[in-house]
Structure 1
Amino acid sequence: MNVHFEEIRLNLPHIELAAHLYGPEDGQPVLALHGWLDNAMSFARLAPKLDGLRIVALDLAGHGLSGYRPAGASYQLWDYALDALLVAEQLGWQRFSLLGHSLGAIVSMLLAAALPERVARLALIDGLLPLTHEPELAPPKLGEALNAQLAQAGKRRPVYASVERAVEARLRGGYPLSREAAELLASRGLAPQAGSYTWRTDPRLTLPSPLRLTPAQAEAFARALRCPVSLVLAEEGLPVQRAEWLALIESLPIALHRLPGGHHLHLDDEAGASAVADCFKALFAAP
């Protein structure tokens, strides 16, 4: 497929981020945040179908062509939220909307709940609530994360003899996605290395989280949302963490859409991207 976008760089005080820019200069401002280990190409099918929007699809820190966080820094949800807010500041967007997939949807929700005066709309794909754990699990989970950080120095990056091998590896890992979706993500996510290829993503992104919110804290964020929210859930996508989460979502003033397809339904094929776009058009057309 042919992908038409403008490549831009954003120099934040602490990191440089790369992004794809779509839409007219006077369009509604939208920041698009992709999922874990993906990149800005995640929105290559969807963004062109959302007319009238000025979409900045970021490579999140440590992903795609964006920079890594310095040694000793972390990739926590709130770190990504600050990055997004600083990007909006640099663009001069006092009020803006968020389009998020998976991890990007979770970060978008947290940012919108924390600063409701800044976020006009939320368009979310197969993601809303962060992974949580009960308070008594916090000490052992922190210990697990600290030990993983100590062991990280001895690990090597995976290396692939060809782009095709890397695509095959991506197809075997995580949630299923189409070959074309994997190829699109690989086109931005791979770097040549001595005649072979490796992923550009920071290896620290695979480390376990040192701290997670409790279920009560996650629910408090969801209930703090004040902007219109449209949530697409894929029938074969991320499982809802607990039955209570789905009950919570259905109790909130969220426009909930259930669509056939997998976790990357907005990228897997044109039909899925069109279906997701149709769900979001009403959200962005509202006054």
Structure 2
Amino acid sequence: MSAEMEEIRLNLGHIELAAHLFGPADGEPVIALHGWLDNANSFARLAPKLPGLRILALDLAGHGHSQHRPAGAGYALWDYAHDVLRVAEQMGWQRFALLGHSLGAIISVVIAGSLPDRITRLALIDGVIPPTSGPQDAAERMGMALQAQLDLGNKQKAVHPSLDQAVTARMRGLVAVSREAAELLAQRGLMPVPGGYTWRSDSRLTLPSPTRLSEAQALSFVKRIACPAKLIVAADGMLARHTGLLEQLPFSYELLPGGHHLHVNDEQGATLVADCFNRFFGIS
């Protein structure tokens, strides 16, 4: 990571979040939001390649070194959006850009569509809208989510006997990443426990959502975006096959080689993403 990175903590009143701060104090303010079960180290390769930007890379609630939400609370999209807006208040940023990957990109779209006057630019990596469903699935989904919440108390987090085994497990996760990416995420995501290591992330993050937006509801956020927006689609990622969705977007996207975590998997991917976003932010 860049020697210019600063570790900070932000007390929002309802929760305390950890973050990495990159770039010059007078740079264009940007809040960077990582993907599900990742952490601020998701931007460790990319942020130093975006000169002139003041990038605050958060550990979202329940991830990395940020606090978990209190007992009985959940991790809904609007709660993340509220956290980000409170972070902007802490930083004194009335208007700011958003840089989001996957879940972080979805949160960014929700904020930019809800409060379009607050967001100056939107830089997205392989994510736009959350998974959607029709009204006919509502009761079944709610039942599944409630039962999963009840069952969670009987489950124990996996303990990996060694750091290497924990890194290997992350490489083979739901979304595979390179060893280099897994090691970066492990630096911030693992903690020692009796018998080895486990991930810091809140177990409630793995619970299914009790509700989902319809596609029309989700796209309503996209349609209200008023700032310049740029989406990077990973050729081997999660969006490339959703051509119907991509054709409905009111902003441009660029297809780049690599997987869902192309910005952190290796230096080549980070450089390609940085070149695209430097042009987008007007950085020479």
Residue 4 to residue 269, structure 1, CA distance change in 2 (3 Å): farther
Alpha-carbon distance between aligned partners in 2 of 1:239 and 1:232, rounded to the nearest angstrom = 9
| SS of equivalent residue, structure 1 residue 153 | helix
Counterpart of 2:271 (choices 261, 270, 274) is 274
- 1:226 matched residue in structure 2: 226
Shift of the alpha carbon at 1:255? 2.5
Mapping 1:187-206, distance limit 5 Å = 187-206=187-206
Instruction: Confirm or deny that 1:259 pairs with 2:256.
Output: yes
**Structure 2 stretches of 5 or more lacking a match?**
none
Q: Between the two proteins, what is the percent identity of the paired residues?
A: 60
Q: Is the 8 A contact 2:19 2:59 kept in 1?
A: yes
Alpha-carbon distance between aligned partners in 2 of 1:55 and 1:126, rounded to the nearest angstrom = 19
Alpha-carbon distance between aligned partners in 2 of 1:242 and 1:234, rounded to the nearest angstrom = 12
Alpha-carbon distance between aligned partners in 1 of 2:141 and 2:149, rounded to the nearest angstrom = 12
Q: Is the 8 A contact 2:159 2:195 kept in 1?
A: no
- 1:58 matched residue in structure 2: 58
- 1:129 matched residue in structure 2: 129
CA-to-partner distance for each residue in 1:168-215, whole Å, 9 max, x for gaps?
111111122110000000010000112510000000000000111101
- 2:114 matched residue in structure 1: 114
Structure 2: which amino acid aligns with 1:256?
Y
Instruction: Confirm or deny that 1:84 pairs with 2:66.
Output: no
Structure 1: which amino acid aligns with 2:140?
P
Alpha-carbon distance between aligned partners in 2 of 1:2 and 1:28, rounded to the nearest angstrom = 18
Alpha-carbon distance between aligned partners in 1 of 2:78 and 2:179, rounded to the nearest angstrom = 32
Shift of the alpha carbon at 1:83? 0.4
Residue 114 to residue 241, structure 1, CA distance change in 2 (3 Å): farther
What TM-score results when the alignment is normalised by the length of structure 2? Answer: 0.97
Structure 2: which amino acid aligns with 1:270?
E
Alpha-carbon distance between aligned partners in 2 of 1:55 and 1:71, rounded to the nearest angstrom = 31
Alpha-carbon distance between aligned partners in 1 of 2:266 and 2:244, rounded to the nearest angstrom = 31
Alpha-carbon distance between aligned partners in 2 of 1:188 and 1:275, rounded to the nearest angstrom = 24
**Structure 1 stretches of 5 or more lacking a match?**
none
| SS of equivalent residue, structure 2 residue 68 | coil
| SS of equivalent residue, structure 1 residue 246 | helix
